Amino acid sequence: MARRERVVRMSVEQPLWRALTAYRVLTMVYAVLIFLFQRERFERPWIAAWFLAFLAVWTLATLPRVANAASCTKRFLVADLTVAVTGILLTPLADTHAQQVDGPTLPSIWAAGAVLAFAIKGGWRWAAVASSVVAVANLVERAHPSRDTLHNVLLVWVASIAIGYVVEVARASERTLARALEIEAATRERERLARDIHDSVLQVLAMVQRRGTALGGEAAELGRLAGEQEIALRTLVSSGLVPASRAAQDTVVRTAVEDGEPCDLRTLLAPYAGSRITLSEPGAPVLLPPAAAKELAAAVSAALDNVQGHAGPDAHAWILVEEWPDEVIVTVRDDGPGIPEGRLAQAEGEGRLGVALSIRGRLRDLGGTAELISVPGQGTEVELKVPRGETRR
């Protein structure tokens, strides 16, 4: 799937870089031809000749730099823009009448290629900065800019920003397409596994449950266990997720950090669902910063550990995920016997700080809160609140 995503990205960006490469070569040749056919108007033609010779060498030597986004570094972009600005400012020295006559500068329209490189590499913001620098250089070179000069400067500024914006939209569409392809591939694989498991393991477990119930005795207990495993396996297959583990969660969080994107909390909580744990979540992604999502999932895991350890083997737990504009609330509730009054304070005094550190401590570090409500004989409810911050869907 990573290979497919790279192919999609090349299909979107690579033609732009190829077009920029051709543009730089053609405009360099154009600038040289202008000098050759109009060299008699230059008072100091040697300045123009030296600059255009350097421009030709620079353009041809840096063709690999504009072959793709990886090779087109920020340092190269700054150097390339410096060459363009230098050529513009050298124009009055080579042609003393350039400030009174609306003629082409030494780099001519080659300078726009430097701005386009910024647009393709960094989007419309980078394009706005680069085009503004070139615009200032043109206005300084003219001293008394005419209407045509202002028109050309504005045209380059607007066109470069528009191209940068189109590039950003294309990249966003590319990421959306890559995710859609991943989801499609995962769905197909999940359907294939579901068919294979349904035709083998699930049918065997269902048969064991029926036969055990019919035989009674110890076989009935075996049938009950087989039925529970059948339910858990069906839930697992339908969600398309693997059992919850710290390694799996670390992988999800690490991927989100590398991509520079928020993490979907549902991805970290869904593996906890099973025959005795019911998960209710929104239909849309619940986005949090990767570190916050990981810590919140760890707090939920600690709450479920308490259910397993203190609520009894037959207890059932429910996880409810709620998304609000300013916060995310996760509630973990069970139908166990509840916590006797004063038991938490006694546990903390004895040095058993599971609730204090694993749950409340994690939420406190995130700027959130953890509220525990328990009534003897009516179960326990843990409400975890985490502020959204700047993360939005």
Residue showing tokens 């190269």? 76
Count CB atoms within 10 A of the CB of residue 190: 15
Mean per-residue pLDDT of the chain: 79
Q: CA-based angle 129:132:136, to the nearest 5?
A: 145
Tens of pLDDT, residue by residue over 278-296, are 888 888 888 888 888 888 9
Tokens of 36: 């050759």
What order of strands is seen across the sheet that includes strand 277-280? 277-280, 317-323, 327-334, 380-387, 369-374
Tens of pLDDT, residue by residue over 199-237, are 566 667 777 777 777 777 777 777 777 777 767 666 655
What SS3 state is found at 370? strand
| 10-24, 98-112, 155-169: range with lowest mean pLDDT | 98-112
Cα gap 379→370, rounded to integer Å: 17
Tens of pLDDT, residue by residue over 178-189, are 777 777 777 777
**Which residue spans within the chain are E strands per DSSP?**
263-264, 277-280, 287-288, 317-323, 327-334, 369-374, 380-387
Cα gap 36→50, rounded to integer Å: 13
Confidence class of residue 10 from pLDDT cuts 50, 70 and 90? very low
